[in-house]
Structure 1
Amino acid sequence: MRFLGRTCLIVLSWLPAVSTQRDGSSVIGSDQPLIASPGEDVILPCHITPRLSAVDMEVRWYRESFKIPVHLYEDRRDQTDVQDSDYRGRTALSRLGLQEGILSEPEKPPSL
């Protein structure tokens, strides 16, 4: 496996998602909880500022366990084999968005 040198970590939590990298760029997410009814699609807002391509980065969305991601983009592709089974086939990242540093992910919450 090739290491790309950069990793963007997105933690799905109630805490504001702001992380500053060594190069001065920041990963920015929502500072407010996102509320949806079961079965609704949700876009989890997240982007890199200043604008920076994330095509060659690792983008990992996760909830409780870093090792079991909700979504993992690495080596320029989605890594569905390690994805949390509750989210398999239900998450996506925009390839065009990644070029612009947009890490937003549509998510459909698990059925209750």
Structure 2
Amino acid sequence: MWHRIADFGNLACWVDGVTDCELDGEGTGAIRTVGLGKHSVRERLEAIDPDSHVLWYRVLEPHGMPARSVVSEMRLTSLGPDRTQIAWVSRAEELSVPAEIFGPRIGAF
């Protein structure tokens, strides 16, 4: 699974709802434009640690999410042969909607 996540510009191949994904640059600092039907969002790779199977990215403004300074982490943890736990966590500031509504809106992406 790590090979899919580490391929920062290939999100459309494994995330439902992503219609296309274009990558500008390579490695840390690369920016991907993620197509979500009629909408798109730009994300910059902040850091990647292949040994720990973790990557961090920032959602670039402007975007359609009801928050500012959105930063996400994707972390893979082996649970044994053929089993992997994926933790995909985002942090944000200045939510313009209550937190209990924000989660489902992000899930809709």
Q: Comparing both structures, which one devotes a greater share of its residues to strand?
A: 2
What is the TM-score when the length of structure 2 is the normalising length?
Answer: 0.30
Question: What TM-score do you get using the length of structure 1 for normalisation?
Answer: 0.30
Q: Which has the larger radius of gyration?
A: 2
